[in-house]
Amino acid sequence: MKQEIIDQTKKLAKDYDIYLQSTEINEVHLEKNRVNFANKVFDSGYGIRILKGGIGFSASNIKSDELIKKTILNAIKSAEMTEKVKFEFPKQGKYPEVEVVGRRIKNKGEQAVQEYAEQLLNEMSKDVLLSFGKVRSYDSFTNIINSEGLDVQKEDTNFMVELSLIVKKNNVRMEFWPHEYRRRMQDLPMERIKKWIQIANDQTIAKGPKTEQTTVVFSPEVVLDGLGTVLGSHATGSAKVNDVSRLAVGEKVATDELTIISDGLYPFGLGTSGFDDEGVAERKIPIIEKGVFKGFVYDQFYALKDNTKSTGNGLKQSDVFFMFDGKYGMEPGNQISNFYVKPGDASYEEMIEDIDHGILVEQFSWMDPDAITGKFSSEIRAGYYIKDGEIAEPIKGGLVIGNIFDMIQKIESISDKSEITSASNVLAGVCPYISFRDVQIAGK
Amino acid sequence: MIQDLMQRIVDILGDTYYGDVRYESSQSTGIGKNKSEESISTGSSNGLCIRVISDNKWHYLGFDTLDKEKILEEVKRLVMRVGNKPSKLWMQDSWELDKEVPVKEKPDSIPVEERMQTIRQIFSQAMTDKRIVNANIGMGNARSETIFMNTEGSNLRQVLPFFKFVMSVTSKQGKKMENDYFVLAKQGGYELLRGINAEDELNKIVKNSIAMLDAKLIKGGRYDIIIDPEISGVVAHESFGHGLEADQVMRDRSYLASLNGKKIISDLVSMHDNGALPKERGSFLFDDEGIKTRDNTLVDKGVLKKFMHDRQSCMLMNSEPTGNARAQDFSRKVFVRMTNTYVSPGEWKFKELIEDTSSGYYLIKNLTGMEDPLGGNMQMVIHSAMQIKDGELSGLFKGVTISGKVLEFLNNVDAVTDDFDIRGGGCGKGKEDYISTGTGGPYMRVRNAVIG
């Protein structure tokens, strides 16, 4: 298929890039502590961008000669119909070595997924119902070729676990509902599952919080959804060029504790890659350094539009539903890679010890701030009071209300470990726990 | 022909307790423009999903490449491996259907240049006010074909036309930014765009986006509120409907599990899930298990009447299938999913409702909503609100959310209008498995609701 697409594209177009991806997916579902579904999928396809005045895009997973030609001609026609742009496809670069392959998935995906599901079932005690669970692996091969002579290939793996853990105690049933992605299975070990079960257990005695302004600690996942959604959007070249960014280079936007990097190289990070989805080398780009905004991340289009160079941030990732297979069907967009928040000085335990009174939020129903304004108002699904420097009674319900731009100016402390995490709105993060002072809680 | 391959697969599946094969293909076009770029993209895809059940466990195979020999070999291997142990599964007589939902004006019959020109004109109009810093204008259409065959002998084909038109604008004043949007998403063709006054709709969102720059933050608390049809629909779907998906009930994960037949909410509220409703985004002729779609009354005058089912859940819950078995695509599992979910209209007029309300807020447009099928809690983020004082609307507010328990919320409904609308959108089961849906309803007044 590959050679056919390249030959046809070369024949019909002068300036192009071709994105080829094939993925094997293995999946097992569990329901009420038993396996009830197994699936194996083979998915492959191609997306073609043509530069001919404007840029046109067309994609397909149909490999007949006729459809390949039609797909290319559609992209050419689309390029001719859109307004003329200043653009050129990237040239071959020097690419860093990165770690993105989980060997168990690569070598024995089907078996590895089944074994992980069995381990999960073994973790369930009589008090815990695994209401449902999904375990899925992706094993992908990607090849990008363009008319500038660029020809890059990569293998990567991804792994997904979604669980509904229900604990029943004293006629109260409570659920913890994690949904996580990693590159490798060992990065979601059974210790993590035990922690989730513990949170579900604690929720059976949880009460609603009271209305107050207090210190609030966000878990790494919540940090990624909160800060990543808003700052990740405002830090793109597209936001700058389209005049919808609040950030200006050199401006102090956060407390000194906050340093954020778009880190495309973090070992086994979900946004890690030797090159972005246009073939530009990935790297580490400082976004915020000691509270000062340092610069924007660019894909090829917005870099040229802003008279600069791509920073390797042309990525094919949906912010609605994360994609690992089928990326060929999307055009690259200007996005941050791994949203890396530099760890602070205090350990998590010391951070908690320093709080006389506050709230730890492990999970919101949905932390979904407005990417443009930074405002949010989210219901606590699983949290704890912090009292006299210790984790105290569990809480559930009530709203945390705030604005991310205000909160990053009220950071009290950042924990000394950043961990790979995924969230609801942003796929790829490496984040610590962060405490913010004077956050509004709307409760009883 | 694909049907020949599918028939050969069904022949092999004949050795199983039950098996089916579903072929999907689609062609789509998207056209868009913002301040920096114009885009035209096209796409085509196909895929084949093969399902077998044995001993109550489903086994799937998914293929995007129609390599006949490979597929038949994999199917034979699957059948040998899983066996033919009986399962609790709804069986029915075979039926046949071959229908393409008609379109008055096929979008692809209008030259791309002409459609792009329409987008450009609307974009230019959006940017005439200097306080608007960016606008995204887009339209898309897709033709989606499904062919279904199974070991019962059914042979079905449907072709559905989807059309979407979206406008969003961003206003800016210093560091303050706000936005507003308009969405038209239904089944049909270009006639849907011709059927609205896009200029009027654009003017409304431009005006509102600018007004939002001076909107005040709402003070949280309990208030009487009036919600618009869009919000009524999201309450029906997100906060309420997910708890009526029978697979959630079977997983012991629904707060509504034990309430069938009981009066649970205001008798002014009736709810339907209706996949057979013409021209809506969540409509189709048969579901992904070959069951004909229908109008399901979920709640009748406050009484819970029915859960939504697939072939398996209905047997386990002593019911019948409801045409709600849906998959994101050939590569994903079929789950119990909603179609077009809505609250039925009542008798009030919107104007009367406002005039009859002495104090409270009128909530406008839903931004996000998340299900909580076990807890029955609501979390919805609303675009904006207006204050109601002595039967009149005034002032604009932002930072609006709805929270609390959905049954309490719907029990406090004391007025429902005859104005009614359904909006096309999408739904995930949790955070994935995206499908197209419709949600809607009337304006409803809810007493003593928790908003923040």
Which positions ≥6 away from B257 have C-beta within 8 Å? Answer: B249
Same domain, A236 and A145: no
CA distance A231 to A226: 9
Q: How distant, in Å, are the alpha carbons of A4, A67, B69 from that of A1?
A: 5, 12, 17
Whether residues A29 and B46 touch (CB distance < 8 A) is answered with: no
Decide if pLDDT at A114 tops 90. Answer: yes
- Name which of A350, A310, A319 is nearest A433 in CA terms: A350
CB B59 within 8 A of CB A75: no
End position of a domain, from candidates A136, A169, A203: A203
Same domain, B36 and B174: yes
CB B63 within 8 A of CB B75: no
End position of a domain, from candidates B214, B243, B278: B214
Same domain, B244 and B271: yes
Same domain, B45 and B115: yes
Percentage with pLDDT > 90 across chain A: 89
Given CA atoms A398, A403, A406, A412 in this order, what sign does their dihedral have? Answer: positive
Q: In the numeric block, which tokens belong to residue B22?
A: 């579903």
Any B CB within 8 A of A83 CB: yes
- pLDDT at residue A444, as a whole number: 67
Average pLDDT over residues A274-295: 98
End position of a domain, from candidates B214, B241, B274: B214
The CATH number that applies at residue B10 is: 3.30.2290.10
Same domain, A26 and A170: yes
Going by their DSSP bridges, the two strands B413-429 and B325-326 should be labelled as unpaired
Any B CB within 8 A of A175 CB: yes
Any B CB within 8 A of A375 CB: yes
How many domains does one find in chain B? 2
Identify the residue whose tokens are 């792994």.
A159
Same domain, B199 and B234: no
- Chain B residues with CB-CB distance to A82 below 8 A: 37-40, 116
Whether residues B34 and A377 touch (CB distance < 8 A) is answered with: no
Q: How distant, in Å, are the alpha carbons of B21, B151, B277 from that of B156?
A: 11, 13, 19
CA distance A253 to chain B (A): 12
CA distance B86 to B72: 23
End position of a domain, from candidates A146, A175, A203: A203
Same domain, B266 and B203: no
- Chain A residues with CB-CB distance to B250 below 8 A: 31-32
Same domain, B230 and B209: no
User: Chain A window 151-170: which residues touch B at a Cβ cutoff of 8 Å?
Assistant: 162, 164, 166
Phi, psi of B231 (to 5 degrees): -70, -40
Any B CB within 8 A of A246 CB: yes
- pLDDT at residue A366, as a whole number: 86
Same domain, A152 and A277: no
Whether residues A60 and B45 touch (CB distance < 8 A) is answered with: yes
∠ at Cα A61 (A59, A62), nearest 5°?
A: 110
Same domain, A233 and A361: yes
CA distance A394 to A360: 9
> Chain centroid to CA B347: how far?
26
Element (H, E) at A178: none
Phi, psi of B421 (to 5 degrees): -150, 150
Same domain, B80 and B162: yes
Any B CB within 8 A of A5 CB: no
Decide if pLDDT at A397 tops 80. Answer: yes
Same domain, A162 and A225: no
Same domain, B183 and B229: no
Same domain, B286 and B432: yes
DSSP-assigned beta bridge partners for residue B272: B297, B342
CA distance A314 to chain B (A): 15
Same domain, B124 and B151: yes
List pLDDT tens digits, range A320-370: 678 889 999 999 999 999 999 999 999 999 999 999 999 999 999 889 899
Same domain, A277 and A195: no
Whether residues B432 and A322 touch (CB distance < 8 A) is answered with: yes
Same domain, B253 and B370: yes
How many domains does one find in chain A? 2
Any B CB within 8 A of A424 CB: yes
- Chain A residues with CB-CB distance to B39 below 8 A: 55, 57, 78, 82, 331
3-state secondary structure of A121: helix
End position of a domain, from candidates B188, B214, B240: B214
Same domain, A155 and A218: no
| Chain A residue with the nearest C-alpha to that of B426 | A320
Same domain, A395 and A309: yes
- pLDDT at residue A319, as a whole number: 65
The domain in which residue A380 lies consists of: 212-442
- pLDDT at residue A320, as a whole number: 65
CB B403 within 8 A of CB A379: yes
CA distance A129 to A96: 44
Q: How distant, in Å, are the alpha carbons of A30, A120, A128, A133, A297 from that of A125?
A: 15, 11, 5, 15, 47
Among A34, A72, A78, A225, which would you mutate to test the B interface (most chain B Cβ atoms within 10 Å of its Cβ)?
A: A78
- Name which of A231, A229, A289 is nearest A259 in CA terms: A289
| Chain B residue with the nearest C-alpha to that of A379 | B379
From B34, B42, B330, residue closest to A242, measured CB to CB: B34
Same domain, B294 and B394: yes
CB A248 within 8 A of CB A114: no
Per-residue confidence in pLDDT tens, chain B, 452 aa: 899 999 999 999 999 999 999 999 999 999 999 999 999 999 999 999 999 999 999 999 999 989 999 999 999 999 999 999 999 999 999 999 999 999 999 999 999 999 999 999 999 999 999 999 999 999 999 999 999 999 999 999 999 999 999 999 999 999 899 999 999 999 999 999 999 999 999 999 999 999 999 999 888 889 999 999 999 999 999 889 999 999 999 999 999 999 999 999 999 999 999 999 999 999 999 999 999 999 999 999 999 999 999 999 999 999 999 999 999 999 999 999 999 999 999 999 999 999 999 999 999 999 888 888 888 988 888 999 999 999 999 999 998 989 889 999 999 999 999 999 999 999 988 778 999 999 999 999 999 999 87
| Chain A residue with the nearest C-alpha to that of B221 | A442
- pLDDT at residue A201, as a whole number: 92
CB B331 within 8 A of CB B47: yes
CB B24 within 8 A of CB B144: yes
- pLDDT at residue A126, as a whole number: 84
The domain in which residue B188 lies consists of: 2-214
Segment among A7-11, A36-40, B147-151, B167-171 with least mean pLDDT: A36-40
What's the complex ipTM?
0.92
Exposure string over B245-269, b if 16+ CB within 10 A, otherwise e:
bbbbbbbbbbbbbebbeeebbbebb
Same domain, A255 and A191: no
The CATH number that applies at residue A187 is: 3.30.2290.10
Same domain, A249 and A127: no
Same domain, A191 and A270: no
Give the 3-state DSSP-derived string for chain B, with helices as H, strands as E and coil as C.
Answer: CHHHHHHHHHHHHCCCCEEEEEEEEEEEEEEEECCCCEEEEEEEEEEEEEEEEECCEEEEEEECCCCHHHHHHHHHHHHHHHCCCCCCCCCCCCCEEEEECCCCCCHHHCCHHHHHHHHHHHHHHHCCCCCEEEEEEEEEEEEEEEEEEECCCCEEEEEEEEEEEEEEEEEEECCEEEEEEEEEEEECCCHHHHCCCHHHHHHHHHHHHHHHHHCEECCCEEEEEEECHHHHHHHHHHHHHHHHEHHHHHCCCCCCCCCCCCECCCCCCCEEEECCCCCCCCCCCECCCCCECCEEEEEECCEECCCECCHHHHHHCCCCCCCCEECCCCCCCCEECCCEEEECCCCECHHHHHHCCCEEEEEEEEEEEECCCCCCEEEEEEEEEEEEECCEEEEEEECEEEEEEHHHHHHCEEEEEEEEEEEEEEEEECCEEEEEEEEEEEEEEEEEEEEC
Inter-chain CB pairs, A–B, below 8 Å? 212
User: Chain A window 256-285: which residues touch B at a Cβ cutoff of 8 Å?
Assistant: none
CA distance B97 to B147: 10
CA distance B440 to B452: 23
Q: How many residues does chain A have?
A: 444
Cβ count within 10 A of residue B168: 18
- Chain A residues with CB-CB distance to B177 below 8 A: 244, 246, 372-373
Whether residues A60 and B43 touch (CB distance < 8 A) is answered with: yes
Same domain, A224 and A198: no
